[in-house]
Amino acid sequence: MFNIVNWLKAAMALILISLSLSGFAKDRQLYIYNWSSYIAPDTLKNFEKQTGINVVYDVFDSNEMLEGKLMAGNTGFDLVVPSDSFLERQTKVGVFMPLDKNKLPNYQNLDKNLLKMLAQHDPDNRYAIPYMWLTTGIGYNVDMVKKTLGDDAPIDGWDLVLNPMNLKKLSNCGVAFLDAPTEIFPTVLNYLGLNPNSQNPDDYKIATEHLIKLRQSITYFHSSKLINDLANGDICVAVGWSGDIMQAIAATKEANNDINIKYYIPKEGAIAYFDVFAIPKDAENIDEAYAFLNYIMEPKVIADISNHVFYANAVSNAYPYLDDNIKQNPAIYPSPEIMEKLFSLQVMPPKIDKLMTRSWTKVLTDR
């Protein structure tokens, strides 16, 4: 006899089978490529719990590495995190899709002044969501540097690491530089009183000669290893990114190991950047990418990330959720006088980019 309950069960089963065959019931995925040590431990887990989207997360530690993948195409990523000047160059060759701000209700949380600054690299803020902003400065082990250079060590300027005599002495306790030619060249140019965004090949010749003088005293060039090495006392000085050095400081506190690390922005000035989220043109999980962008523009979510990674974010209403040691830290939120001395990197013509790459290889190999 016809039974309505059985009939309904059969119809339900049929609907479920056809939904799963059509891919409707398929797991939602999101592929993210971000810098190493740049997210809070529970950010992805909480996002997955809230949205049901499964995140596949991979990391890099240089803009050059990310750019190589973007230029080759088919990265397989739905969200990537270039720095501002790299994004500017990459948008010119069409590797990103413009953002649909209608899909980003939390966009209104972003700080208008910071968006205006970022617009120098991304006109009309068409492609990028600012994630964190930062400086490239100096991290040092207070006791080791004092022991090596004495009480009058120049722990306020670039002289500490860019004066060959100082660096030679510091090489005894270990020196790390970022493996980032697009940052070290402008830093050296600025130290030598030249334009950090110079387009004059002669200036790069001068900077290269200077770096070759320093080369023998640099223990290694690497952009992420220095966090642990500073924290463990394996090196005594590093040219590194603000938040990474402060992660080293936090690690010493956690280990209670009596190592006293400090970070400063040198008085001659330093580079400041935004790292930004953008969606590659060939991304496949676009709705999921927008869901994540909205998520990280939630004040509490982004504040938790800043509290963990020690970088300043661009969400204005996140401020109340920041820990005091973050919001009162002048190395993360520099004073107006220091802000005046920060400079942004400009996109170089290909001729200068090539010259920088060649010169960097020369510096790395000239022993």
Contact segment (CB under 6 A) with ligand SPD among 6-14, 34-42, 137-145, 258-266 equals: 34-42
Residue 61 or 203: the one with the smaller Cβ distance to ligand SPD is: 61
Over the window 258 to 287, marking each residue x when it contacts ligand SPD by CB under 6 A and - when it does not, the resulting string is ---------------x-x------------
How do 261-264 and 129-141 pair as beta strands? antiparallel
How many other β-carbons are positioned within 10 Å of the β-carbon of residue 18? 11
Q: Shortest gap between Cβ of 312 and ligand SPD (angstroms)?
A: 12
Question: What are the residues whose beta carbons fall under 8 Å from the beta carbon of 192, sequence distance 6 or more?
Answer: 206, 207, 210
Q: Indicate the angle between helix axes 299-309 and 286-296, nearest 10 degrees.
A: 70
Helix ranges (H only) for the chain are 4-21, 43-51, 63-72, 84-92, 112-118, 142-149, 159-162, 164-170, 181-191, 201-215, 226-232, 242-255, 286-296, 299-309, 324-327, 336-341, 350-365
83 binds ligand SPD (CB under 6 A): yes
Residue 213 or 333: the one with the smaller Cβ distance to ligand SPD is: 333
Judged by CB under 6 A, the residue of 185, 191, 204, 241 near ligand SPD is: 241
37 binds ligand SPD (CB under 6 A): yes
> Residue 168 and residue 174: Cα distance in Å, rounded?
10
Q: Tell me the one-letter amino acid at 149.
A: L
Greatest CA separation for the chain? 98
Residue 244 or 288: the one with the smaller Cβ distance to ligand SPD is: 244
Residue 20 or 357: the one with the smaller Cβ distance to ligand SPD is: 357
Q: Shortest gap between Cβ of 36 and ligand SPD (angstroms)?
A: 5
Residue 52 or 68: the one with the smaller Cβ distance to ligand SPD is: 68
Beta-ladder partners of 176: 220, 238
- Binding-residue total with ligand SPD (CB under 6 A): 11
Angle at 153 between CA 151 and CA 156, to 5 degrees: 120
Judged by CB under 6 A, the residue of 6, 18, 36, 46 near ligand SPD is: 36
Residue 212 or 347: the one with the smaller Cβ distance to ligand SPD is: 347
Applying CB under 6 A, the residues found at the interface with ligand SPD are: 35-38, 63, 83, 183, 241, 244, 273, 275
